[in-house]
């Protein structure tokens, strides 16, 4: 089982050939918006759109909203893929190398820093959207098996929680970081980037207001979810997340943890167990069956499903669906 927050990224021999001639160390530090030398004048003079590479859906959506018509924005991690365990191919690494701007959240993409170092580009702007935010610690349970115990020598490891995009207030900060990165890469279009960012931040502020109003007077404050993705959202709106799994949805809960969740659900008369669309819901369904409750979707927005796309859902639409699901469950 992969643990995205512990593993290191190793380049294959074929990938090393593709990246031959690149320095072993990146020429830019991965700050919110870092760059060695501006390449914007060349971009502006040629009328060429920025080539912006992002990692997974929230970064793609935020960047697309700010960039408008001035950039071609792509996401490395395809729709339907779980970003916690995804790793880049040689083709993906070539995209990282050739990007004018590279946008990633931070932490969830355990491969990103090594990839940036290996695929160096002294004119590339790098945006780590969560950098500078007050990140929360999560407790990641040990993998099952004696090998994990021998490697770690303890039962728990404290890691930082990357899921800031699920808090509409912190999402605004990420949008601001992305705006700064695009301006650094293309100052000629600064006014448009600022205008686009302001417009999207206004929508995020409205979303925040909807969450505050909708969750203010709910009957209960605790909710059980498939993995620990909603800590920032819960803290923002005075709720308590009770996760079945840890920060990665692929983590299996220990028998003791699962028994504790079931006990909590029975004692607190929990009527809804939340699951996700991109991972196997069997554990959430097991808990629901054990306590006689129903299940519903609480989407961590790590990617859009085909159904989401068919419904023309985006970040704002999915978050509003999450709000309605929470309101319903917390008023039962």
Measure the CA–CA gap between 23 and 20, rounded to whole angstroms. 8
Report phi then psi at 256, rounded to 5. -65, -40
pLDDT at 5: 37
Rounded mean pLDDT of the chain?
Answer: 84
CATH code of domain 13-142+160-204: 3.40.50.1980
The greatest distance separating any two alpha carbons of the chain, rounded to the nearest whole angstrom, comes to 66
pLDDT at 10: 37
Domain positions in the chain: 13-142+160-204, 214-330
Place of tokens 């003079």: 45
Report CA torsion sign: 75, 79, 85, 87: negative
Asked if the model's pLDDT at residue 82 lies above 60, the reply is yes
Which of 302, 307, 249, 309 has the alpha carbon at shortest distance from 274? Answer: 249
Summarize pLDDT for 138-163 with one digit per residue, the tens: 754 433 333 333 333 334 445 899 99
Measure the CA–CA gap between 192 and 173, rounded to whole angstroms. 18
Q: Which fold has domain 214-330?
A: Rossmann fold (3.40.50)
The token duo for 276 is: 């996700």
Highest mean pLDDT, choosing among 3-7, 120-124, 175-179: 175-179
SS3 201: helix
pLDDT at 34: 58
| 141 vs 63: which has the higher pLDDT | 63
- Do strands 101-104 and 272-275 pair parallel, antiparallel, or not at all (unpaired)? unpaired
73 Cβ contact partners less than 8 Å away, ≥ 6 residues apart: 52, 54, 60, 63, 64, 67
Summarize pLDDT for 154-199 with one digit per residue, the tens: 344 458 999 999 999 999 999 999 999 999 999 999 999 999 999 9
Report CA torsion sign: 194, 198, 199, 203: positive
pTM of the model: 0.83
Which of 232, 213, 251, 240 has the alpha carbon at shortest distance from 327? Answer: 213
Listed as own residue / partner, the contacts of 73-82 with beta carbons closer than 8 Å and 24 or more positions apart are 77/303, 78/303, 79/303, 79/304, 79/305, 79/306, 79/309, 80/278, 80/303, 80/305, 80/306, 81/278, 81/303, 82/249, 82/250, 82/278, 82/279, 82/302, 82/303
Summarize pLDDT for 205-227 with one digit per residue, the tens: 999 999 999 999 999 999 999 98
Q: Which parts of the chain fold into alpha helices (H)?
A: 13-18, 40-46, 57-67, 90-98, 112-118, 146-152, 168-185, 190-215, 231-236, 255-267, 282-291, 306-310, 315-330
pLDDT at 148: 34
Which of 35, 30, 29 has the alpha carbon at shortest distance from 50? Answer: 35
Contact 112, 55 (CB under 8 A): yes
């Amino acid at each position: 089982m992969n643990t995205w927050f512990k593993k290191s990224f190793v380049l294959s021999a074929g990938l090393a050939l593709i990246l031959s001639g690149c320095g072993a160390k990146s020429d830019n530090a991965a700050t919110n918006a870092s760059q060695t030398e501006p390449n914007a004048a060349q971009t502006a003079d040629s009328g060429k759109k920025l080539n912006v590479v992002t990692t997974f859906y929230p970064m793609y959506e935020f960047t697309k909203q700010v960039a408008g018509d001035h950039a071609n924005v792509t996401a490395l991690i395809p729709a339907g893929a779980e970003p916690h365990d995804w790793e880049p191919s040689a083709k993906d690494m070539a995209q990282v190398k050739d990007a004018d701007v590279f946008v990633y959240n931070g932490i969830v993409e355990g491969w990103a820093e090594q990839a940036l170092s290996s695929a160096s580009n002294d004119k590339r702007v790098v945006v780590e959207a969560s950098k500078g935010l007050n990140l929360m610690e999560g407790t990641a349970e040990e993998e099952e098996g004696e090998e994990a115990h021998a490697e770690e020598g303890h039962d728990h490891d404290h890691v930082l929680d990357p899921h800031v995009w699920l808090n509409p207030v912190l999402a605004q900060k990420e949008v601001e970081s992305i705006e700064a990165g695009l301006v650094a890469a293309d100052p000629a279009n600064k006014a448009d980037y600022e205008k686009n960012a302001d417009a999207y931040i206004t929508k995020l502020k409205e979303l925040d207001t909807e969450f505050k109003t909708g969750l203010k007077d709910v009957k209960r404050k605790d909710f059980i979810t498939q993995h620990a993705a909603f800590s920032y959202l819960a803290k923002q709106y005075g709720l308590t997340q009770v996760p079945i799994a840890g920060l990665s949805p692929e983590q299996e809960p220990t028998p003791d943890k699962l028994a504790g969740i079931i006990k909590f659900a029975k004692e607190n008369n929990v009527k809804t167990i939340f699951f996700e669309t991109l991972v196997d819901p069997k554990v959430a369904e097991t808990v629901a069956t054990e306590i006689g409750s129903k299940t519903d979707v609480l989407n961590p927005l790590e990617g859009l499903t085909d159904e989401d796309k068919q419904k023309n859902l985006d970040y704002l639409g999915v978050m509003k669906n999450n709000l309605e699901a929470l309101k319903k469950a917390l008023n039962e």
